[in-house]
Chains A and B, each alone.
Chain A
Amino acid sequence: MQKINKNVVLALLSLTSLVFLLFQLYYYKFYLSQKNGAAFSKVRGSQSGQDSTRWHVVKKFLGAISSHNIPVYLIDPLILGLIDKDIEQIRSSPDGPSPECKYFCAPRDFTTFALLDKTWKHEVGLLRTAEKMGFQWLKIVNKDPRLDGLDDLSGVEIPLHYIFKLASHAIHLVVFYERSGNYLWHGPLRLKQHMDRKFVPFRKLHFGRYPGAYEKPELLLVSIDDLKVQIPKNPSSFLEEISHSRFLECRYREARAFFQLYPDDGSLDAVEFRKKAKSLLHLAALTLNNLGVKFWLSSGTCLGWYRQCNVIPHSKDVDLGIFIRDYKSDIIPAFQKAGLPLKHKFGKVEDSLELSFQGEGDVKLDIFFFYEEDDHIWNGGTQAKSGKKFKYLFPKFTLCWTEFVDLKVHVPCETLQYVEANYGPDWKVPVKTWDWKSSPSNVQHNGVWPVDEWDDVIQIY
């Protein structure tokens, strides 16, 4: 009895386990195929049908666009990546017929195009044409950020994104706006409550998770896969731009609240200083951009941006940060050439480097170099008379674009942590007396420079 019982139970269990095992296998396969839809299952078989659908949808869309004379250009990272591989060939024979559908048939869910806002007007016409062609469309509008900084202006909402869907493919049309600072901006894609969340798999969109800032691209008209389309002249640098294009809007509302609490200094001195600081920042940005050195707003300038969207009038200097890995020896000569003489140089490239340039009318440009460690980033300070070294610690951060005094510049994306590290939790309260050796909440003593190095690491002009 017992034996039989045992065997039966064992057999039963093995069976169940086997069933489960099979089920698991099946489910795993099913799950995988669902997840990587395009990449997995379409390698063979139904491929050509799907591919040509994409091509056809793009062709139809371009047809609708050109019938309304709307100049769009291709910004799809996937296709631009493919194009970039053959860019020489495409450039040299812009009209050559394509033997095979190489680019627009590549497996993907979307094709992304860009549109400059100022180059079009007839939205209604385009949408109607698209509808006639069988497209379903979704339009995403939002506030106009160019009016955000202004007290109490309420403009009409502006279109930020359009999605045109036909069959299994969708076109994502990103609207770019020109903004002060000579750059292009696109907005984030945010769905309002009544919108269809399943219209397309929004997560897979390449643009729209965050707002983005771009240089104005030069365009090139090419013919690929028998379609005429504009692309950025230099796809690889455009692709590079995409990867760190995230844009932060200044916190205008908070800035307004700040000025309610602490009214702005409207004195002539303040106006003058702001004007000088602005032109110094413009000059510095121009110089560093020409060198290709990435920089960001640091210390007081960063605080000014974050807290009040403006230069702090009593700050008396302009502060920039640069990663030491981006250091170039021609930074100093470049600034001198731009009319900004070196005022002092503390530290050395290996340790605590800091440069100071004399701007027009007593406004100083401080450039701090930042050193990256495993879990933090720091920059150094040096007291000239004692040779004492200081260290300012920051949590790790990445860089985002923003607009400041009509300039497109970088700021740490994690601005709050950055500002709090530097100015402590009370950064919202203006402080007029500031000692760079003791006031910052992230300052540490870092020993003293050896006397024999002083000539090198403490240079004052």
Chain B
Amino acid sequence: MDEWKPNPAIKPHKKRSWYLAWKYKLMNQRALRKLCQTGAVLFLLVTVIVNIKLILDTRRAAYEEEEESAQDYDDEMLNVEVPRHPVSNKKVLDVEVYSSRSKVYVAVDGTTVLEDEAREQGRGIHVIVLNQATGHVMAKRVFDTYSPHEDEAMVLFLNMVARGRILIFTIKDEGSFHLKDTAKNALKSLGSQVAPFLSWRDMWTFVGKKGGEVYGEKHAKSPALSTWGDPVLLKTEVHLTSVEDAECHWPDTELNRRRKRFCSKVEGYGSVCSCKDPTPIEFNPDPLKDNKVFDVPVAVIAGNRPNYLYRMLRSLLSAQGVNPQMITVFIDGYYEEPMDVVELFGLSGIQHTPISIKNARVSQHYKASLTATFNLFPDAKFAVVLEEDLDISVDFFSFLSQSIHLLEEDESLYCISAWNDQGYEHTAEDPSLLYRVETMPGLGWVLRKSLYKDELEPKWPTPEKLWDWDMWMRMPEQRKGRECIIPDISRSYHFGIVGLNMNGYFHEAYFKKHKFNTVPNVQLKNVESLRKDAYETEIHRLLGEAEVLDHRKNPCEDSFVPDTEGRIYVMFIKMEQEADFTTWTQLAKCLHIWDLDVRGNHKGLWRLFRKKNHFLVVGVPASPYSSKKPSSVTPIYMEPPAKEEGAAAAVPVVAAAEQT
């Protein structure tokens, strides 16, 4: 461009004036031309630049658009790529098993899968089941074979484990005292050489495949009664099989896919994982006609008792009228196995980070579960609340369907419960009969949403109050004089024998002989007479018809009630004021029904069956039904055994009452 810059010394001219004039003229022209030229050049340049810019811009815009096209929709959380477990092609597992007086541990490929050195705990034989293809832990159990009957449980468990699984045994402290021959033979059949000769305080470790080879066994004999055998450490190698060999070949259906997932993870559920003839996991019970509880959500409150949950869900899903879509299982804690059970049945499960401890933890778990239930089913007016250690009667939903309208219409009702605290084998008779009671039994019950949302939820005990939710719900501040409807024969059965407030002895005494309805489609009778006023009429009718028993006899004796069937009898006991249950408690004790606190009463009246006769007990004079007492009859008074014993008994009262 420099080239055509005007040359300052261009063509000298002779005449200055002319030259000047000409020069100016020329310069004007030249300036014009120059201007034009420069203008044109500038214009062109600008065009070029603008064009380039335009191209670049559109390019970038288009590019950015592509880039951003999904940016708005990106997940906020930068999901860190979950490190996948390296697919190990390793065919051999290193297994280490340790047995000693105070500590046991099992390590698989350097990972500790069991470690127990707690004092006063974990005594007996620890059993671990590994998947023979993956080496994953499928079950972990401890059987306290120092105590009776635990060896039977162990044999039962070992029988349920599928062939081919890897079993690891180790003893902590003592494991032989109640190890009977059956159990020893079972261990022997697994390939153990030492098991038949295991004795007092021996240490023992064993690794073997069910129905196959033995990978190792070590044993240390106790030299004397007062001492333990030396600790033993067994190190061995286990050869893994291929995945195909470890799995059953069920037909490829959605159900079997769930089954497969379950069976490759956990052990100890028996025939559900049987290759040949697996037990069904879908039940399709008959639907209920006119089912009024089909849309009622069911909350199953669970902890870490997966075997219980399994049994419970089986019975629940077999009940007529069940709607699996409404069932949610709430698991207190991040336990895998209960969740596996839930998924096996294709239900939805929710896990809950534990808050607080013991009873308060259960209470907080209940609150979260109930709130979540009503959040998940905002249309629901009710919720059915179940626990993982209940069997559910086949007509559970039929029972609720026939009675739920009462809970909707009768303001004086607190709940409908499937459980009759006083309904034992010898005291319950009529599956079609219902009662109104002032106590809340729980154990399978229906909660009204308005009751929960308006009254219970806002003032639910906080975590630092170590209260039981059910005891709290039974308090007069909450119950406000309202009653629950219960059946004569329970629609649930409490089978749990391990639990927060539960043990084998307690279960045997108070739950084992509870009556449980197994008849399908029971038509409830006289449901309308359960309404507040109608029930009074009904009671008066009953008392009017009832024959007064001979009050001179001992009410604990069987002969107190005549050998008849289908009659109505009444007896009167002493009950000075509303809270005087002295005689009732003694009577309950000798009748072998629930006596740990007062249950099943309605205005000082109890209803049960004796020898297939309806048997009414009226507390005089506190009960409004006292007027039915003939003047000639003196109410029976039964003294509590002795003061101290009464005081001592008060402790289990609290502990036991918490459970139900």
Given A151-B355, A152-B352, A275-B454, does the pair A146, B376 have CB atoms closer than 8 Å?
Answer: yes
For residue A310, give the distance in angstroms from its CB to the closest CB of chain B.
10
**Judging by beta carbons under 8 Å apart, are B51 and A182 in contact?**
no
**Judging by beta carbons under 8 Å apart, are A153 and B62 in contact?**
no
**Judging by beta carbons under 8 Å apart, are A20 and B48 in contact?**
yes
Assembled-state Cα–Cα distance A190/B325 (Å)? 27
Given A147-B375, A181-B378, does the pair A155, B69 have CB atoms closer than 8 Å?
Answer: no
For residue A395, give the distance in angstroms from its CB to the closest CB of chain B.
24
Tell me if A45 counts as interface (CB < 8 A to partner B).
no
Report the stretch among A76-84, A196-204, A357-365 that lies at the interface: A196-204
Tell me if B83 counts as interface (CB < 8 A to partner A).
no
Report the stretch among A57-65, A266-274, A414-422 that lies at the interface: A266-274
Assembled-state Cα–Cα distance A193/B73 (Å)? 11
The chain A residue sitting closest to B348, CB to CB, is A156
Given A154-B353, A197-B69, does the pair A268, B375 have CB atoms closer than 8 Å?
Answer: no
Tell me if A337 counts as interface (CB < 8 A to partner B).
no
Please pick, from A6, A23, A180, A203, the residue contacting B378 in the complex, using a CB distance under 8 A. Answer: A180
Tell me if A327 counts as interface (CB < 8 A to partner B).
no
Determine the chain B residues whose CB is within 8 A of the CB of A202 once the complex forms: 69-70, 72-73
Tell me if A171 counts as interface (CB < 8 A to partner B).
no
Residues facing B in A349-406 (CB within 8 A) are 406
Tell me if A133 counts as interface (CB < 8 A to partner B).
no
**Judging by beta carbons under 8 Å apart, are B3 and A193 in contact?**
no
**Judging by beta carbons under 8 Å apart, are B453 and A406 in contact?**
yes
Tell me if B462 counts as interface (CB < 8 A to partner A).
yes
Residues facing A in B71-99 (CB within 8 A) are 72-76, 78-79, 81
**Judging by beta carbons under 8 Å apart, are B352 and A153 in contact?**
yes
Please pick, from A34, A189, A190, A201, the residue contacting B76 in the complex, using a CB distance under 8 A. Answer: A190
Please pick, from A9, A21, A121, the residue contacting B325 in the complex, using a CB distance under 8 A. Answer: A121
The chain B residue sitting closest to A3, CB to CB, is B4
Tell me if A33 counts as interface (CB < 8 A to partner B).
no
For residue B72, give the distance in angstroms from its CB to the closest CB of chain A.
6
Residues facing A in B40-72 (CB within 8 A) are 40-41, 44, 47-48, 51-52, 54-55, 58, 62, 68-70, 72
Assembled-state Cα–Cα distance A21/B72 (Å)? 36
Tell me if A150 counts as interface (CB < 8 A to partner B).
yes
For residue B168, give the distance in angstroms from its CB to the closest CB of chain A.
32
For residue B87, give the distance in angstroms from its CB to the closest CB of chain A.
18
Tell me if B351 counts as interface (CB < 8 A to partner A).
yes
**Judging by beta carbons under 8 Å apart, are B378 and A152 in contact?**
no
Most buried by A among B69, B79, B374: B69
Assembled-state Cα–Cα distance A181/B379 (Å)? 9
Tell me if A10 counts as interface (CB < 8 A to partner B).
yes
**Judging by beta carbons under 8 Å apart, are A155 and B350 in contact?**
yes
Report the stretch among A11-19, A230-238, A328-336, A445-453 that lies at the interface: A11-19
Tell me if B458 counts as interface (CB < 8 A to partner A).
yes
Please pick, from A34, A118, A156, A271, the residue contacting B459 in the complex, using a CB distance under 8 A. Answer: A271
Tell me if B604 counts as interface (CB < 8 A to partner A).
no
**Judging by beta carbons under 8 Å apart, are B355 and A191 in contact?**
no
Tell me if B368 counts as interface (CB < 8 A to partner A).
yes
Please pick, from A34, A149, A193, the residue contacting B75 in the complex, using a CB distance under 8 A. Answer: A193
Number of B interface residues, CB 8 Å? 52
The chain A residue sitting closest to B79, CB to CB, is A193
Given A13-B44, A201-B69, does the pair A150, B51 have CB atoms closer than 8 Å?
Answer: no
Tell me if B533 counts as interface (CB < 8 A to partner A).
no
Tell me if A43 counts as interface (CB < 8 A to partner B).
no
Assembled-state Cα–Cα distance A34/B348 (Å)? 46
Please pick, from B48, B73, B74, the residue contacting A208 in the complex, using a CB distance under 8 A. Answer: B73
Tell me if A432 counts as interface (CB < 8 A to partner B).
no
Determine the chain A residues whose CB is within 8 A of the CB of B306 once the complex forms: none
Tell me if B466 counts as interface (CB < 8 A to partner A).
no
Assembled-state Cα–Cα distance A9/B62 (Å)? 35
**Judging by beta carbons under 8 Å apart, are B44 and A190 in contact?**
no
Tell me if B175 counts as interface (CB < 8 A to partner A).
no
For residue A31, give the distance in angstroms from its CB to the closest CB of chain B.
5
Assembled-state Cα–Cα distance A125/B346 (Å)? 14
Given A20-B47, A34-B62, A191-B74, does the pair A274, B368 have CB atoms closer than 8 Å?
Answer: no
The chain B residue sitting closest to A266, CB to CB, is B462
**Judging by beta carbons under 8 Å apart, are B75 and A191 in contact?**
yes
Determine the chain B residues whose CB is within 8 A of the CB of A178 once the complex forms: 377-379
For residue A399, give the distance in angstroms from its CB to the closest CB of chain B.
21
Residues facing B in A147-203 (CB within 8 A) are 147, 149-156, 178-182, 188-194, 197-198, 201-203
| Per-position binary interface string of chain B over residues 344-361, scored 1 when its CB falls under 8 Å from any chain A CB and 0 otherwise | 000011111101000000
Given A5-B4, A13-B44, A151-B353, does the pair A203, B372 have CB atoms closer than 8 Å?
Answer: no
**Judging by beta carbons under 8 Å apart, are B44 and A191 in contact?**
no
**Judging by beta carbons under 8 Å apart, are B375 and A150 in contact?**
yes
Assembled-state Cα–Cα distance A192/B82 (Å)? 12
Residues facing A in B507-545 (CB within 8 A) are none
Determine the chain B residues whose CB is within 8 A of the CB of A124 once the complex forms: 254
**Judging by beta carbons under 8 Å apart, are B378 and A179 in contact?**
yes
Most buried by A among B78, B368, B378, B453: B378
**Judging by beta carbons under 8 Å apart, are A191 and B70 in contact?**
yes
For residue B164, give the distance in angstroms from its CB to the closest CB of chain A.
30
Determine the chain A residues whose CB is within 8 A of the CB of B69 once the complex forms: 197-198, 201-203
For residue B565, give the distance in angstroms from its CB to the closest CB of chain A.
49
**Judging by beta carbons under 8 Å apart, are A146 and B44 in contact?**
no
Residues facing A in B81-130 (CB within 8 A) are 81
**Judging by beta carbons under 8 Å apart, are B62 and A154 in contact?**
no
Tell me if A209 counts as interface (CB < 8 A to partner B).
yes
Residues facing A in B363-400 (CB within 8 A) are 364, 368, 371-372, 374-379
**Judging by beta carbons under 8 Å apart, are A192 and B75 in contact?**
yes
The chain A residue sitting closest to B378, CB to CB, is A180
Given A146-B372, A201-B69, does the pair A155, B48 have CB atoms closer than 8 Å?
Answer: no
**Judging by beta carbons under 8 Å apart, are B58 and A180 in contact?**
no
**Judging by beta carbons under 8 Å apart, are A150 and B458 in contact?**
no
Tell me if A289 counts as interface (CB < 8 A to partner B).
no
**Judging by beta carbons under 8 Å apart, are B378 and A182 in contact?**
yes
Given A5-B4, A20-B47, A151-B368, does the pair A193, B353 have CB atoms closer than 8 Å?
Answer: no
**Judging by beta carbons under 8 Å apart, are B350 and A275 in contact?**
no
**Judging by beta carbons under 8 Å apart, are A190 and B54 in contact?**
no
For residue A72, give the distance in angstroms from its CB to the closest CB of chain B.
18
Given contacts A20-B48, A201-B69, 4 further A-B contacts (CB under 8 A): A9-B1, A191-B70, A194-B81, A274-B458
User: Can you list 29 A-B pairs with a CB-CB distance of less than 8 A?
Assistant: A6-B4, A10-B37, A13-B41, A23-B51, A23-B55, A27-B58, A31-B62, A34-B62, A118-B325, A125-B254, A146-B372, A150-B372, A151-B364, A151-B368, A152-B352, A152-B355, A153-B330, A154-B352, A155-B372, A179-B378, A180-B374, A188-B73, A191-B73, A202-B72, A203-B69, A203-B73, A274-B458, A406-B378, A406-B453
Q: Which 10 A-B pairs have the closest CB atoms?
A: A152-B353, A197-B70, A20-B51, A190-B75, A155-B350, A146-B375, A180-B378, A13-B44, A202-B70, A271-B458
